[in-house]
Amino acid sequence: MTSDSPSAPPSTPPSIRPSALRRRSVLGAAAAVPVLAAGLAGTASAAPVPRAPAAPAEPRRLKGGGDLGPNVIVFDPSTPGIQAELDAVFAEQESAQFGTGRYQLLFKPGTYHGLNARIGFYTSVSGLGLSPDDTTINGDLTVDAGWFGGNATQNFWRSAENLAVVPVNGTNRWAVAQAAPFRRMHVHGGLNLAPSGYGWASGGYIADSRIDGTVGPYSQQQWYTRDSSVGGWTNAVWNMVFSGVEGAPAHSFPNPPYTTLDTTPLSREKPFLHLDGTGYRVFLPALRTGSRGVTWGNGTPRGTSLPLERFYVARPGDSAATLNQALEQGLHLLLTPGIYHVDRPVRVNRPNTVVLGLGYATLIPDHGVTALKVADVDGVRLAGFLIDAGPVDSPVLLEVGPRGASRDHAANPVTVQDVFIRIGGAGPGRATTGMVVNARHTIIDHTWVWRADHGDGVGWETNRCDYGVVVNGHDVLATGLFVEHFNKYDVQWNGERGRTVFFQNEKAYDAPDQAAIQNGSIKGYAAYKVADHVTTHEGWGMGSYCYYNVDPTIVQHHGFAAPTRPGVRFHDLLVVSLSGHGQYECVINDTGTPTSGTTTVPSTVVSYP
C-alpha cells in the first residue's frame, strides 16, 4: 500500500542541522596512503645509458575500518543532550520523503532514561550489543503520521534494530508502511502498529523480536511477523501472516484473516554492527532450518563476528571503481549513510562477502548500468540499503547470480535482507526489471521493490519498469515479499521449488486504460506469475490490490497466475479492489469470485488447487 489519499503530503520543512549533527564518530584513521615503486635510476657516465623501464606502480591498497562519517551518530548513556540530537534529526527527516538526508543512530550498551526517539525518513536506530537487552531505552521509539494528516501509508524507509524498549505508557507506537523493518527488538510492553487516531496504515514487518505485551495492528491492512515471540495479537484487517512466532494466533484465514505457520522453512538473520572490548564488529547470524522464536536471550547467539578492519568503510562520493577495488582486495563493504552514484556495477565475486548499509545508504546507477551484481558464489549477504533507479533505463537494478547460475548453495545461501529498490519518486528513474535472482537457494528476507506511484518523475511511461522481481534460480525462498506498481508482472517466478511466505502487492495505479495492461487475451498482468513450465511451487498468505485511479473502469482478470498441477500450491490468497477503483474477476487463474465494484471487500481463496 502506498497512499489511498489523493492529497499531497505537506512540503518539507527547512533543513535543521545543528553542529551536534556534524560531529563524527571516529573509529580509526580513514586515509589510505598510496604505495609507489620507484623507477631505476640512470648510471652516470660519459655515454648515455639506456634507462630501464620504470616498474609499474602498485595499486593503492584500501584500508579496512575507519571513520563512519558525519551522519552516524553514536550515543552512550553519559552523552549530554541526546534528546536534542534525536529531535534535530527528526525535524530534518520527518517529512523528507524524497530528500537526500541519511542517518544512522547508534546506542552503545547501557540504559537510557526518558527518551522519545521519533523516527523519520531514512533514519535507522540500532543498539550496539550482542543482544537487544544489552541496550535499554526507558522511553519510546515512535513512528506516527502527523506529517501526513494521520495517514501512515507513506511512512517508508526507516528501521529499529537490536534494542530493548520500556515504553513510557506501556505501549510503543510503530505506525509504518513498507520498507520499515522492526528487527531484533525487545519491547517490555505492547506494540501499536497504527497511527494516532487509527488512520490508514499498511505495513509491515517484524523479525527476531520479543513483544512482551499485545501487538495491536488495528488499521494495518497486512503484516508479516517472522521468528518472534508475542504476548498476544489483536485485530486483523485483510492479511496477517506469522511464521515461527511463539504466541501467534491460530490459523483461521479468512475469518479472521490469520495465516499461521508453526515454523519458518529457512532463515538467517540480518548482519548487525556491535561493540566488544576491541572495538566495532559485524555479527553474522547462523543459518536456521525450521526456525521458531528469537535467536537471542540464551547466551551468545549462534554465528560469527568480523572486526571492522575487514570492512572497507565506504563514504558517499566513493566511486564504483573504489568499491570494486575494496572487494577485489578481499574486504567486505560497509556503506555509511549517504548517496552513492555508480557508473559501473558493484561486483561481488568472492564467497561470503558482506555488503551492509547503514542509515539507508543509497546506490544510484548512472548511464543505465546495473547497480550491483553478485557472482554464483556461496554465502553473500546483502543487507540494509536502497537502490534508486537513474534516469537512463537499466536492464536490471540488482542481479543476484549471473544468467544461467546453477551451483548448489543449499548449505550457505545468498541472503538479501532489507534491500529496497525504487523506480521514480525521488526523480526520473527507469529500468526494465527491479531485481533478478538467478542464484539457487537464495533467501529474500524482506524487500520492497517499488515503482513509484507518487513523487517526482512519475507516470505510466515516465518511470516505466515492466517487472519488479524475476526469479530464475531454483529453490529460492522469499519471506516478506513486497512488490508494487509495475507495468507488467510484479513478480515472475521461473525457477523450480520456489516458496513465498507473505506477499503484498498493489497493481500500478496509473494505467491509462484497459488496452495499456492487456496481456494477450488476458485482462491485465498477474501480480504474481508462476511460469507455465514450473512443476513445484508453494505460497502462503498472499494479497494483491488494485486502485486504478486514472481509469477506474479497468478490469484485472486475476491477481495470481500459475500452472494447475499438484506440485503448485497456494494457501490463503486474496484480492481487493480499493474503493471500487478497478475490479478483479478472479483471485487465481479462473478461480475465486469477483471483487465488488464499489466497496473494499476482499475476495479470497483458502487453498489452490
- The one-letter code for the residue type at 52 is A
Range list of H helices, 75-165: 82-93
Q: Which among 425, 476, 479 has a CA at the least distance from the CA of 450?
A: 425
Residues 6+ apart with CB under 8 A from 64: 308, 309, 310, 311, 312, 313, 331
Residues 6+ apart with CB under 8 A from 340: 314, 316, 317, 318, 323, 361, 362, 363, 364
Where do we find the cell 547462523?
A: 286
Contact 43, 49 (CB under 8 A): yes
Joined together, the cell numbers standing for residue 378 give: 556461496
Q: Which among 299, 300, 336, 303 has a CA at the least distance from the CA of 66?
A: 336
Where do we find the cell 548517496?
A: 339
User: Among positive and negative, which fits the CA dihedral 409, 410, 415, 421?
Assistant: positive
Question: For residue 399, how many C-alpha atoms fall within 13 Å in the half-sphere facing its CB?
Answer: 24
CA 537 to chain centre: 24
Q: State the catalytic residues.
A: 506
CA 508 to chain centre: 20
